[in-house]
Amino acid sequence: MKNNDWKERLNIVYSTNPDFKYQTDEDEENITPEKRNQKLRVSIEKKGRGGKTVTLVTGFVGCDDDLKELGKVLKTKCGVGGTTKNGEIIIQGDFKQRIIELLKSEGYIQTK
C-alpha cells in the first residue's frame, strides 16, 4: 500500500508529473546556543496589562522547551506566577534585579 502523506503537502493538490516532488512542511527544531552566548534583556512593563507590573525577559534564542524550562526556574525561585509565549518570559511583579541575579547565577552572563 502506498504511503499517503497528503496532509503534509503544501500548495499542490495534484500533479501529472510522475517525478514531481511535493514540498512538505518540516519543522526545524531550533538548537539552543550555550547559556553564555545568550543575550537576554530584562525589563519592567505595565502597558496593556491593566495596571499590573510584570517583568519581561526577552532575547532568548532556542527551542520552546528550553524557554519553558527557564521560565519555570525563574517563576519557582521568585515564588510568583507567569508564562512563556512568543519567545518571552513574563513574570508577575517587579523582580528585575532578582531575575538578573538569577540568570547570571544560571550561566547567562550577557544579561542586562
pLDDT digits (tens, 9 = 90+) for 16-44: 777 877 666 565 556 788 888 889 999 99
Q: Which helix (H) or strand (E) element contains residue 16?
A: none
Specify the CATH number for the domain of residue 81: 3.30.780.10
Domain membership of residue 85 (yes or no) is yes
Q: How many domains does the chain have?
A: 1
What local confidence, expressed as pLDDT, does residue 5 receive? 61
Q: What is the pTM of this model?
A: 0.71
Residue 50 has pLDDT above 90, yes or no: no
Domain membership of residue 46 (yes or no) is yes
DSSP-derived letter for residue 62 is S
Domain membership of residue 3 (yes or no) is no
Domain membership of residue 33 (yes or no) is yes
Q: Which three-class secondary structure string do you get for 33-47?
A: CCHHHCCCEEEEECC
Place of cell 519581561: 56
Whole domain around residue 54: which residue ranges?
29-106
User: Which residues of 1-112 form beta strands (DSSP E)?
Assistant: 41-45, 54-58, 82-85, 88-92
Give the C-alpha separation, 84 to 93, whole Å. Answer: 15
The residues, any chain, with a CB within 8 Å of residue 89's CB and separated by 6 or more, are: 56, 57, 60, 67, 70, 71, 74, 82, 83
pLDDT digits (tens, 9 = 90+) for 54-97: 999 999 988 888 999 999 999 999 999 999 988 899 999 999 99
